[in-house]
Amino acid sequence: MLQKTALFDSLQGKLTGDHVSRSRRSLGDLSNVFLNEEERLRMNPDQHVYEVEMHDSCGEVEGGLFFGVSHVHPGKVGDEYFMTKGHFHQKRNRAEYYWGISGEGLLLLMDEARVCRVEKVFPGSLHFIAGHIAHRLVNTGSSSLVVGACWPSDAGHDYESIQKDGFSIRVMEKNGEPVFVKQ
């Protein structure tokens, strides 16, 4: 009997079909993520910042894989570009792949000593995120940044350590260009 599958339109980065779940983060969900908290509180809390759709293939089991697509909208809070919350994996040694589908942005990669590297994200870019590395997407473009991801289904997400200490680099816009500001 033919199983129905999830369908991934790679050009649009849209995932439809069975076992597809969606989550959305709006400005109201992102307290103390951006530098300028006063500005964030002045903005519309329902403003969408990013959505994640994922193919929940097997549940959070050891040896499984998840596939996901993140859509980060263009925008800024003050001078700081829209970005994802960012996380380490609960199981620190779990790695992840990201790949650029559309738009342009940056991937922040920070180790547990808070040394942060930055990789450019563009259609076709492939990013290996090793274990023990926190990762955050930043949209520096004028259209949605769409990025695919594949990660072990037992990785889990540790948002707390990032919520507490953030990344050691912020990406701000200055004279129309991204600049890195050390924290």
What's the CA gap between 110 and 11, in Å, rounded? 29
What's the CA gap between 50 and 68, in Å, rounded? 13
Task: Select the span of 5-13, 35-43, 80-88, 164-172 touching ligand G6P (CB under 6 A).
Answer: 80-88
Tell me which of Fe ion, ligand G6P, none is bound by residue 104, counting a contact when its beta carbon lies within the kind-specific cut-off of 5 to 8 angstroms.
Answer: none
What's the CA gap between 13 and 1, in Å, rounded? 28
Q: Which two tokens stand for residue 143?
A: 């259209």
What's the CA gap between 166 and 160, in Å, rounded? 9
Residues 153-182 interacting with ligand G6P (rule: CB under 6 A): 157
CB atoms within 10 A of CB 142: 9
Among 40, 55, 71, 87, binds ligand G6P (CB under 6 A): 87
Task: Select the span of 38-46, 83-91, 104-112, 120-128 touching ligand G6P (CB under 6 A).
Answer: 83-91
- By CB under 6 A, tell whether 70 contacts ligand G6P: yes
Q: Contact residues for ligand G6P (CB under 6 A)? A: 52, 68, 70, 84-87, 137, 149, 151, 157
